Structure 1
Amino acid sequence: MALPMRAVMSGSRALRCLGALAPLRDFSRVPSRREISFKLDEKTAHSSLDLFKKDTGVIYRILGIDPSKVSQNPERFREWAVVLGDTHVASGRHYWEVTVKRSQEFRIGVADADMSRDECIGVNNCSWVFAYSHKKWHGMQANKLIPITNIGHPSKVGLLLDYEVGKLSLVDSEKGSLIHTLTAKFRGPVVPALALWDGELVTHSGLDVPHDL
């Protein structure tokens, strides 16, 4: 799988999770119920990304926005086409879905709320994602690729986060069955995370965890 642009990094840089982010956002917004409801946070969106559908969808622009014309803040991704969700999760099991049919190259998953804004999700040990590129799926963590087969390119997929157990699963949203699970050791609050290099993605949150998962 050919990773976009500079996704393969040196070990020392790939393991650096904390950027110059200050202060962190209020963790009191951690949801207490089993379902997570979130929007995408424009303050974190790279200048090549536009939000739409009331900040639940993101579209990639080849030219993007002139970086000088977007508000400069330490939460915005500076080098990679990444955007984070606006809700922190530090407990519980949560499920959301992403419509992926209009993108051919993307990553979806979760990341530490305070990960460096100079890195891409999937290349460090503070983000856990499922990547689709060149008509193939992979799990990604710490820049390691884990092939995922027998899935194709569905119009929509689900993500199941089990924070205490340390698992993030890719779900067949039509069948309600697990496709692949990544294991993780979360050190603090995580947020939904997306990256894309063409097309668009739309998130669907506020969903109950499917009974059979």
Structure 2
Amino acid sequence: MAAAANAAASSKGSLKEDLTCAICCDLFRDPVMLACMHHFCKPCISRYWRGTQGPVTCPQCRKEFSCKQFQTNYLVTAMVEKVRATTSDTYLKNLEKQLKETLENHRLRKDDFVNSIRRDKDKMETIKKLGADLQARVKGEFRALHQILQDEETCVLEQLRREQEEELEKVQHHLEAIELALRELEENMRVLQQASADTENVVVTELPQLRPCVRADIAPEFDINAFCSKYMAPMQYITWRKMFKSLKPGPSPLTFDVDTAHPSIYVSRDKTVVVECEAVIPHMGHNKRFLQCINVLAAQGFQSGRHYWEIEVGTKTKWDLGVASEAVDRHSRIKLSPESGYWTLRVRNGNEYSAGTQPWSRLQLGCSPKRVGVFLDCEERRVSFYNADDMSLLYSFTNGPRGKVFPFFSPCISDNCQKPQPIKLIHYPPVALSG
């Protein structure tokens, strides 16, 4: 590029010499051409011939002419004006300003690329650390299942490894693209810096040729929740569902707490079924009872460890499920939200599923679950909901409760045209999950 700039400067100098009047030794002013094809300033040739009687001669080649005759050369005039403009102080200052601005823009883009590379490397470290943490968690889960689950453990770890590699590969590709773009940018900066330095010695009339900037795509997003969700799930229980004939684990059974049931809720004798009823059931007054909303809690509460339970909802078109803090207000009508002490999933109109955030987070599900699994991880503060038929994740709260919580249920008020349908707690052989 420097050689090209020098060549351009040399060519410019040669052109300036060709457009210089041989009489005044300056750029042509109002250039005219004699019959011998030599050019001079009109005032210069007029002064040169002033007082001459008879034939005149060309000052350059000494050719004689019978009369004082010349013609204006508009093409040379235009060329002279262009050279004069491109060698002016104003033009050179503007060119120097453009060089500085272009260099500064490249510096800013370099900073962006450097920052993007740093973020990519940090992201890769996060992925690696998460991958290592998840591998340790998976191994811990599978140690409790011993040799019978060795094949399943290997399968899950391989899937995690592939997903980790896929995530790392995405970021690696972006990192390589950014590094390539950075190298191209630095090369352009070198050329611009050289051109900027050359302006002190030679006349530069245009920006040097730059390499086209490599397009840098937006850095791929890394969804930590999506990456972690299947490995933060109740893995022992999921595996047990796959190997039911060989194993006999299951979640600890829950029962409904009659003392918390709204007066419009009927609780079965074995405390595993609740259903909304039209008549108000007389209950002994109790501070634990819900009075404004059709709610009920489980008798069992949790404040440590990991716990999983399932609820059969069948074809009910309205319900709310989840967990509630021990200290929730049970006598007022409030919104079900984490801010109020509730982490819930709900359905309305049979297929409108939402997570109990504020505002509600609408969920798009492929099918309506007949059984819903709730997984509570007190240490990780996670509350997750699953379609218990295939253990697909429906929603997960990652900023879950602190302190003691109870499984929460609401059969809701049924539509007038429908017969109230029950909610049922599903009991399996009483084998508690580890933790």
TM-score w.r.t. the length of structure 1 is 0.73
Q: Provide the rounded CA distance (Å) in 2 between the counterparts of 1:104 and 1:91.
A: 33
Task: Give the alignment of 1:10-49 within 5 angstroms.
Answer: 35-49=251-265
Computing the radius of gyration from Cα coordinates, the structure with the larger value is 2
2:304 corresponds to which letter in structure 1?
Answer: S
Contact 1:104–1:133 (CA<8 Å) still a contact in 2? yes
Range 119-128 or range 44-53, more displaced? 119-128
Contact 1:58–1:201 (CA<8 Å) still a contact in 2? yes
Q: Provide the rounded CA distance (Å) in 2 between the counterparts of 1:207 and 1:138.
A: 31
Tell me the equivalent position of 2:53.
Answer: none
Q: What SS does the corresponding residue of 2:255 show, helix, strand or coil?
A: coil
Contact 1:111–1:121 (CA<8 Å) still a contact in 2? no
Deviations 1:145-195 (A, max 9, x none): 111112432221211111111111111212223222112342310000001
Contact 1:128–1:184 (CA<8 Å) still a contact in 2? no
Contact 1:35–1:93 (CA<8 Å) still a contact in 2? no
Range 171-180 or range 81-90, more displaced? 171-180
Q: Provide the rounded CA distance (Å) in 2 between the counterparts of 1:151 and 1:208.
A: 30
- Deviation for aligned residue 1:103: 1.8
Tell me the equivalent position of 1:14.
Answer: none
Q: 5+ residue gaps in structure 2?
A: 1-249, 415-420
Contact 1:95–1:160 (CA<8 Å) still a contact in 2? yes
Tell me the equivalent position of 2:402.
Answer: 187
Q: What SS does the corresponding residue of 2:259 show, helix, strand or coil?
A: helix
Tell me the equivalent position of 1:122.
Answer: 336
1:122 corresponds to which letter in structure 2?
Answer: L
Q: Provide the rounded CA distance (Å) in 2 between the counterparts of 1:39 and 1:99.
A: 13
Contact 1:121–1:195 (CA<8 Å) still a contact in 2? no
Task: Give the alignment of 1:87-126 within 5 angstroms.
Answer: 87-117=300-330, 118-120=332-334, 122-123=336-337, 125=339, 126=341
Tell me the equivalent position of 2:393.
Answer: 178
Change (3 A) 1:207 1:133: farther
Change (3 A) 1:79 1:169: same
Q: Provide the rounded CA distance (Å) in 1 between the counterparts of 2:398 and 2:392.
A: 17
Q: Provide the rounded CA distance (Å) in 2 between the counterparts of 1:35 and 1:121.
A: 29
TM-score w.r.t. the length of structure 2 is 0.37
Task: Give the alignment of 1:41-190 within 5 angstroms.
Answer: 41-52=257-268, 54-61=270-277, 63-65=278-280, 69-117=282-330, 118-120=332-334, 122-123=336-337, 125=339, 126-134=341-349, 135-141=351-357, 143-190=358-405
Deviations 1:102-151 (A, max 9, x none): 4211100000012110245724521100001022111103x431111124
2:314 corresponds to which letter in structure 1?
Answer: K
Q: Provide the rounded CA distance (Å) in 2 between the counterparts of 1:56 and 1:189.
A: 22
Higher RCO by CA contacts (8 Å cutoff, separation 6 or greater): 1
Q: Percent of aligned pairs with the same residue?
A: 22
Q: What SS does the corresponding residue of 2:356 show, helix, strand or coil?
A: strand
Aligned pairs, number: 173
Contact 2:343–2:400 (CA<8 Å) still a contact in 1? no
Tell me the equivalent position of 1:26.
Answer: none
Q: CA RMSD in A?
A: 2.2
Q: What SS does the corresponding residue of 1:78 show, helix, strand or coil?
A: coil
